[in-house]
């Protein structure tokens, strides 16, 4: 069990977590630089916010580049979509959206904590990008908490 998230079941990832395959793809990249490049190059149509949803209500304040995030619950599972003017922020936040989508709202907080602790990109992101990612993750978690 070399991947960080395999032991994370006790720390927030449910045993039936639907995105272990996505985490396997991420973890297949050996270095943090490779992981960041994979996130930036990854095509994310399933988690990319459409132009029509880039509204002031969905904008995340305080980000140097534009960042928008929309959340919903349908059929008892969460769905998150994001868009950023920065390719790096777009890649990281859409990855978080994918990882937190498709689960019950009550599971999102634990998943978010496990993922935040295990991604290992802290040393590669600037302070403003770290803040943008943290703010997006807080919005994801806040929405899930309100949706329970």
Rounded Cα gap, residues 80 and 140, in angstroms: 7
Instruction: Based on DSSP, count helices (H) and strands (E) in the chain, helices before strands.
Output: 5, 2
The pLDDT value recorded for residue 12 is 54
Host H or E run for residue 20? helix 20-27
Q: Which residues pair with 77 in a beta bridge?
A: 74
Q: 62: phi > 0 → left, psi -120 to 50 → alpha, else beta; which?
A: left
Q: 111: phi > 0 → left, psi -120 to 50 → alpha, else beta; which?
A: alpha
Give me the number of domains the chain comprises.
Answer: 1
Q: Domain range holding 74?
A: 4-147
Taking only the tens place, the pLDDT of each residue in 44-87 is 777 789 999 999 999 998 778 899 999 999 999 999 999 999 88
The pLDDT value recorded for residue 69 is 96
CATH number of domain containing 37: 3.90.1010.10
Predicted TM-score (pTM) of this structure: 0.87
The pLDDT value recorded for residue 142 is 97
Taking only the tens place, the pLDDT of each residue in 97-136 is 999 999 999 999 888 888 777 777 777 788 888 888 889 9
């Amino acid at each position: 069990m070399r991947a960080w998230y395999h032991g994370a079941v006790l720390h927030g990832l449910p045993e039936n977590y639907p995105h272990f395959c996505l985490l396997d793809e991420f973890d297949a990249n050996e270095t943090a630089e490779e992981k960041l490049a994979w996130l930036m190059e990854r095509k994310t149509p399933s988690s990319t916010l459409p132009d029509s949803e880039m509204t002031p209500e969905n904008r995340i304040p305080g980000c140097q580049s534009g960042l928008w995030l929309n959340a919903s619950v349908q059929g008892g599972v969460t769905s998150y979509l994001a868009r950023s003017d920065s390719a790096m922020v777009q890649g990281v936040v859409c990855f978080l959206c994918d990882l937190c989508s498709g689960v019950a709202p009550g599971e999102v907080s634990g998943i978010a904590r496990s993922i935040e602790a295990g991604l290992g990109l802290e040393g590669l992101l600037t302070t403003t990008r770290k803040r943008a990612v943290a703010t997006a993750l807080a919005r994801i978690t806040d929405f899930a908490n309100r949706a329970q």
